[in-house]
Amino acid sequence: MTTIYDAITFAAHAHRNQRRKNADAIPYINHPLSVMRRVSQVCSDPDILSAAVLHDVVEDCNVTSLELEKRFGAKVARYVDEVTDNKSLPKLERKRLQIVNAPGKSHGGKLIKLADKTDNIYSIYEAPPLWTPSRQLKYIDWCTEVVVALGPVDLALMEQFEFARNLALSKVDAQVKAEMESVTPMDDEFVLDEC
């Protein structure tokens, strides 16, 4: 249990200056904590839970895999490496590789990836990023591709993903509908003047 608490403390420190990209600028650490909570509902392995809360520290903070290995052990570092994007690659390539590499992840890596995508999609419903509805839909679609590529992972966690996806889609659909209703039709006179 000490490893999990140490991982939480480490992640909180690593993410201390980061905020989510939404209107409320929620502290970033809420996301890794939520990912860990989701994983803990279906798994009690302390290495997987530690990796879940640490899953973004290599990708988004000034932390190395070697540092994680020395502090938390090789298994935790491997799980984090499995779900870490190579930031030296272009964004579209990183996104493509998440789909391509999804089936080959370990069970622990798949649990973390599924919980991560679930939490990211749920945030579109709960505290949406400052993105257009179109961009939100594209993100939901891409996350769905990643999750489908993971293959069977855990039924309960997959149900959480589907629930979050449906909530996010309904929220984005409502935004699109509101935008369409706020557009005023052009006056007939204006249209005639243009002819």
Task: Write the secondary structure of 44-68 as one string of H (helix), E (strand) and C (coil).
Answer: CCHHHHHHHHHCCHHHHCCCCHHHH
Q: Tell me if residue 59 is catalytic.
A: yes
**CA proximity to 32, closest of 98, 104, 93, 116:** 116
**CA proximity to 124, closest of 90, 91, 172:** 172
Spot the catalytic one: 6, 45, 59, 69. 59
**29 secondary structure, DSSP code:** T
Beta-bridge mates of residue 129: 22
Angle at 38 between CA 31 and CA 24, to 5 degrees: 25
Q: Tell me if residue 189 is catalytic.
A: no
Spot the catalytic one: 6, 45, 60, 162. 60
- Give catalytic residues, as residue numbers: 59-60
